[in-house]
Amino acid sequence: MKVWIALLLALSLPLMAHASESEEVTEGEGAAAPVVSYVTLVPALVGNFGDGPKLKFFKADLSLRVTGADVEAMVKHHEPLIRNQLVMLFSQQTEAGMAAAGARETLRAEALKQVQDVLTQEEGKPLVEDLLFNNLIIQ
């Protein structure tokens, strides 16, 4: 009987050692890799743009990609300023500019630059890595 217990114990020790090593690796990896998250601007940005007798309207659902919970909190803190900057950018667009080929990508890049500039002025760093259109409706 003692032989069986000793044999069982001897066979289970390597498994326990392997399990504890796996936990250490997982904890180490989790601490080293910052978490990427997306801050969605809710509600969507809505406004008008263009010149001439007939105004055009836009509705933009946007998300900002950030890394780290502290950065996410800072971006949420400055959300009113970010929203203002983006509404001003969209309202300055012309109908011809919005209809051009590649206009959405150009607008996305300019919006990202504007957001990063505002956050650099406020926090000293751009904080936002990317800006994504979840939906962009122009009418």
Q: Are 65 and 36 in contact (CB under 8 A)?
A: yes
**At residue 59, does pLDDT exceed 50?**
yes
Looking at the structure, tell me whether residues 41 and 8 fall in a common domain. no
Looking at the structure, tell me whether residues 81 and 111 fall in a common domain. yes
Averaged pLDDT for residues 85-107: 90
Grade residue 98 by pLDDT with cuts at 50, 70 and 90. confident
Domain, as residue range, for 47 = 36-138
Looking at the structure, tell me whether residues 19 and 58 fall in a common domain. no
What global pTM score does this model have? 0.74
pLDDT at 22: 46
pLDDT at 12: 57
Grade residue 3 by pLDDT with cuts at 50, 70 and 90. low
10 Å CB burial of residue 87 (0-12, 13-18, 19+) is: middle
pLDDT at 101: 85
Grade residue 11 by pLDDT with cuts at 50, 70 and 90. low
Looking at the structure, tell me whether residues 9 and 41 fall in a common domain. no
Grade residue 54 by pLDDT with cuts at 50, 70 and 90. confident
d(CA 26, CA 16): 16
Looking at the structure, tell me whether residues 79 and 44 fall in a common domain. yes
Looking at the structure, tell me whether residues 84 and 20 fall in a common domain. no
Looking at the structure, tell me whether residues 49 and 10 fall in a common domain. no
Q: What is the mean pLDDT of the chain?
A: 84
